[in-house]
Amino acid sequence: MTDDVPTLALNDGRMIPQVGFGVWQVSNEDIIPAVSTALEVGYRHIDTAAIYGNEEGVGKAIADSGIPRDELFVTTKLWNTRHHDVVDAAKESLDKLGLDHVDLYLIHWPSPTKGDYIRAWEQMQEVRAQGLSRSIGVSNFTQTHLDTILALIDTVPAVNQIELHPTFAQRAMSAYNASKGIVTEAYSPLGLSQDLQDPAVVEIAEELNRTPAQVILRWHLQKGHVVFPKSVTSSRIKENFRLFDFELDDKAMKAIDGVDAGNRTNQDPDEFF
């Protein structure tokens, strides 16, 4: 891992870089140059998923980079239609990535209306036992979903990746994750484009001579979240990585906390297929 990037301890004893490069909605045309740029800049944590359709491109960029595998942290995710054949789904993702293991494998959504996240979590144990993934976790799980699996299965997810940004701060969910020893990962960390124009965020950015995006990403780091900025633009990829040479004081942190409006922008995990 690059020295500047802070890491967090997972409940299985492994370490995870606190800043990763997200590739949701990155096209096959853009995926290799985007991931290649991110790796050149210093990102060592890449977050993809089977449903993104770009695992092959991620794998190609990793292979082309020449970076030793043990310096990288790669995450992918199980799609909702594969809750009953988790091991095979994991192997298919590994084939596309060109890797013999990932560092973290997540159940992408609980999909409570059509999926079987309890069975999926049972089978995730085998994914780890076979060495297909070093760590296992979940994504988009609510407290109810987590309570359900923890009542039946002893293994606690290493992470829970959820939508989280200043206007949808998910304080209760983050606190619950922490109470169980689960690291909170934040996707869509910047929220909507208008969130970058929030007066509180803009004022802090101007005071620190930083961009609003950098300020929000720094807020996440100081909250203890793992964060996934996403861009296909080289300058933005670099900008979003420049987070480690400044801090937000308590006043700034509280100002950004005050932006929370409960604005979910993605699907509701209780309803989404």
Return the bridge partners of 226, or none.
185
Q: Does position 267 have pLDDT exceeding 90, yes or no?
A: no
Q: Could you report the per-residue pLDDT of 208-228, keeping only the tens digit for each?
A: 999 999 999 999 999 999 999
pLDDT digits (tens, 9 = 90+) for 131-145: 999 999 999 999 999
The answer to whether the annotation marks 83 as part of a ligand binding site is no
pLDDT above 70 for 268: no
Q: Going by CATH, does the domain composed of 7-257 fall within 3.30.70.640?
A: no
Which residues are CB-contacts of 182 (< 8 A; sequence separation ≥ 6)?
Answer: 11, 137, 146, 156, 157, 158, 159, 160
The reported pLDDT for the residue numbered 194 is 85
Query: Given this model, what pLDDT does residue 3 score?
Result: 55
Positions annotated as catalytic residues are 52
Domain boundaries, the chain: 7-257
The tokens for 188 are 């869509």
User: pLDDT, tens digit, for every residue of 188-200?
Assistant: 999 988 889 999 9
